[in-house]
Structure formats: C-alpha cells, structure tokens
Amino acid sequence: MTAPGNAIAGTVEPMSLAVREALGGHRGANPLVGAVVTAPDGTVLATGFHRGRGTAHAEVSALERFAAASRIPQAGATLWVTLEPCDHFGSTGPCTEAILASGIRRVRYAVADPTGPDGGGAARLRRSGLDVEQLAPDATAASGADGLNPRWVQGRESGRPFVTAHLAQSLDGRVAAADGTSQWITGIESRRHAHAVRSRVDAIVVGTGTVAADDPRLTARNAAGQDLPLQPVPVVQGRRGVPGDAALRSGPKGGPRDWIHVLDHEPQAVLDRLAESRISWPHGGARPGHVLIEGGPTVLAAWLGAGLVDEMFVYQAPLVLGGGPTGLDLPQLTTLTQAVSLQLDLAENGALSRLGEDVLLHYAA
Ligand code: AOF
Ligand code: ZN
C-alpha cells in the first residue's frame, strides 16, 4: 500500500510540471493553464500549455501531442490540468469533448473553474463515467497551481477585465526629456513587444495629457509599420477635450474608428463605461476582457493606486535623461510602508528579458 505522503508526492510531481508548462503562456483575459499526460508508471507522455486568448486550451494541446506520440493504450493514461477543464463553447470548443474523444479515462485537476456553474467540466466528465478528481488543497498549494492566476480569478469573480500596464522609461525613470522630447526612448524591439501586447487587448487607455503631448495613434503595428489584424479600441480618460484631428480618431487607412472618451479620471468610472458601451470589441464578447493602460504618469498612478493593475511591463532603456517627467506619479505616497509592491512575473519569457539594448521587466501585482 502507498503511504499517504507518497500519494501526495505522486500528484504534486505531475501537477508541478503542468504548472511549469503553464508559465510558457502570457497573462491576459485568459488564465495561464498547463497540462500533462502520464502513463500508469508516472512517465510523462505529453505536455501542453495555453499560449493566450483565442489559442488552443492546454488540455487540447497536450492531447494532440499525446495522440501524435504515444503508443500506450489511452485508457491507461492520466491527464493532469492546472485548471478544471472547460465545458463551454468560447473561442475554442469545450475541452470536455476533446477529453472524451481522446479515450483518456482519468483526469486530475488543481483549481476549480471560477467561471460559474456552466463553466466547469468536471461534473460533465464524471457523468460520462470518467475518474475525475480535484487535487487536495495541500497538493494544489505544493504544486504552485493556485499561484498561477490569482488576479485572473479575482477579475472573474468581480466581472472586471484583466488590466496590463506599460511603462517605457529611461534608467532614471523618466518618460521624456526636460523639453518634452520622447521619441524614442526605448528601441525598436521594445516597441515591437509593446505593439504585440496592444494587439491582444480590447482597449488601450491613455490620459488627455498624453493625447495633447504625444498625439499617439494607439494602433497595433508590425515591424514594417503595418496595422496588425486585431486593433484595440482607444479610450481617453480625463476632463480635457480631444482635438478633432487627434491621430487616435482614425483607424487603418485613415478611416474613422470607434473610440471612447470618459470624462472622469477615476479608473472605476472607466471600467463602468467600458462595460456599458456597445462597441464591437476586437476579441469578441459583450465586455472587454483585457485592458491596457499606456499612461501618462497620473493615469498609470491612478490605476496602480486603485489596485487595478494585474501585470506591468517596464521597458527600461539604457539612457539617463537627467530632467523631465517620471512615468509614474504617486505623490500621495510619502513613506516606505506605503509603497506599492509588485512581484517579478515568471510567465511568458520569464520576469526579465533583453530586448535589443533595453531590458524588459515583467511584474505581476
Ligand atoms: C484557457 N486556457 O487552457 C483552459 C481554459 O475564451 P475561451 O474559449 O478560450 O475560454 C476561456 C475559458 O476556458 C477560461 O475562462 C476558463 O474558464 C476555461 N479554461 N481557458 O484560456 C485553457 N483550460
Ligand atoms: Zn478548455
């Protein structure tokens, strides 16, 4: 008979591997999810992870690789998933059907799907006769699965979109020189990364000050400067006006574009307005699932100060600008114990990577 300690270790090991797989994806409107298929003796037969919104779910990716590679009878294998398999038609088909079609009869998952009663697929799989169990809380904690998506789960429960923030700054934390010049502080690789992030969000928020100072287009472009297929909706936050010829008003090929002006500087007012607005969001859905905060300093500070930033990318250029504004302005914080603290985020390419001459820091709130 297996000792209880071994029973836990036997579940933690494959689930920890699934957690490491999950970290290959990027954060956003969808959770980080990893999956592993093992043989009865524990040998790993296939792994998979979810890259991000609109792409194959982790289970589906692992099952595809399992089908392609494995010679063992499917019925003897176990599927390990960091999140309860879904049972809904979203941007991809239900994973419950993919699992039933795979012939695998044993499923272990760590975190229950917070999407609601119709979201989780464990009950459906059990009704079809599969052996499905959620890991015990201590095994889930030991595997790290419950640490993968805390902010995503929170967002799901409160019905708000996932919020990413961008900050492109000099070594001395400035976003422009003293005379206001700011193009370009970061290099081409950083800007390319920033544009890829723009194309995975539904909306980009900037303040009226940024519109006045930089007149940004707020489109997502490739290295050749062409518009990417999915374009975010520009959202301007603040009480000042937006000039009739502002660049953000025009879309691809100069045509008119949907954009939103929220005459308020409270982040919550922006979220409320986005939830009500009947715009057609680039990634579908009645509400935006992912919002990007691009600045400037007061807007970014307001979102960060309100605890609404889920992750932040800091593009750090090797320049010392000497004077000029900083990218984050929180003068209400006056002592160390009030500091807003973030953690390095291990998702995607890791917490720290090199982009040309710049350094990219990825933080999770
Ligand atoms: C993922 N990746 O690997 C799993 C998810 O918009 P969809 O159709 O991609 O569905 C997203 C939902 O699917 C998500 O909210 C979660 O409830 C469930 N599981 N999602 O993005 C995955 N397994
Ligand atoms: Zn799924």
Which pLDDT tens digit goes with each residue over 31-46? 999 999 999 999 999 9
- Mean pLDDT within 145-162: 94
Over 60: is that where the pLDDT of 346 sits? yes
Q: Per-residue confidence at 294, pLDDT binned at 50, 70, 90?
A: very high
Q: Of 33, 64, 86, which is best to mutate to test ligand 1, by the most ligand atoms within 8 angstroms of its C-beta?
A: 86
Lookup result for tokens 């699992």: 99
Query: For position 223, what pLDDT does the model report?
Result: 87
Show the 3-state SS of 197-209: HHHHCCEEEEEHH
> How many angstroms is it from 297 CA to the middle of ligand 2?
38
Structure tokens at 196: 């890829």
Cβ of 114 less than 6 Å from ligand 1:
no
- Mean pLDDT within 356-360: 98
Structure tokens at 70: 């494995």
Query: For position 8, what pLDDT does the model report?
Result: 61
Nearest to 286 by CA among 294, 295, 276: 276
Cβ of 113 less than 6 Å from ligand 1:
yes
Query: For position 111, what pLDDT does the model report?
Result: 96
- Mean pLDDT within 164-173: 97
Question: Which-ligand-closest: CA of 58?
Answer: 1
Each residue of 195-247: pLDDT tens digit? 999 999 999 999 999 999 999 999 999 989 899 999 999 999 999 999 999 99
Cβ of 92 less than 6 Å from ligand 1:
yes
Nearest atom, ligand 1, residue 89 CA: 8
Query: For position 6, what pLDDT does the model report?
Result: 52
Which helix (H) or strand (E) covers residue 321, if one does?
A: none
Q: Per-residue confidence at 3, pLDDT binned at 50, 70, 90?
A: very low
Query: For position 70, what pLDDT does the model report?
Result: 65
- Mean pLDDT within 123-145: 96
> How many angstroms is it from 300 CA to the middle of ligand 1?
28
Query: For position 5, what pLDDT does the model report?
Result: 45
pTM of the entire structure? 0.93
Nearest to 82 by CA among 150, 131, 129: 150
Cβ of 236 less than 6 Å from ligand 1:
no
- Mean pLDDT within 160-165: 97
Each residue of 318-328: pLDDT tens digit? 999 999 999 99
- Mean pLDDT within 263-292: 95
Distance from C-alpha of 150 to C-alpha of 364, rounded to nearest angstrom: 10
User: ipTM of the assembly?
Assistant: 0.93
Instruction: Describe the crossing of helices 58-69 and 4-22 by its angle, rounded to 10 degrees.
Output: 100
AA letter at 356: G
Active site residues: 59
Of the chain, the end-to-end C-alpha distance in Å amounts to 44
Each residue of 44-77: pLDDT tens digit? 999 999 999 999 999 999 999 999 886 667 778 9
Q: Name the average pLDDT for the chain.
A: 92
Q: Do 109 and 84 meet the contact criterion of CB atoms below 8 Å apart?
A: yes
Query: For position 119, what pLDDT does the model report?
Result: 61
Each residue of 13-22: pLDDT tens digit? 999 999 999 9
Query: For position 363, what pLDDT does the model report?
Result: 97
Nearest atom, ligand 1, residue 33 CA: 3
Distance from C-alpha of 141 to C-alpha of 145, rounded to nearest angstrom: 6
Over 70: is that where the pLDDT of 116 sits? no
- Mean pLDDT within 280-287: 93
Across the beta sheet with 106-111, what order do the strands follow?
Answer: 44-49, 34-38, 78-83, 106-111, 131-134
Cβ of 27 less than 6 Å from ligand 1:
no
Query: For position 80, what pLDDT does the model report?
Result: 98
Query: For position 1, what pLDDT does the model report?
Result: 38
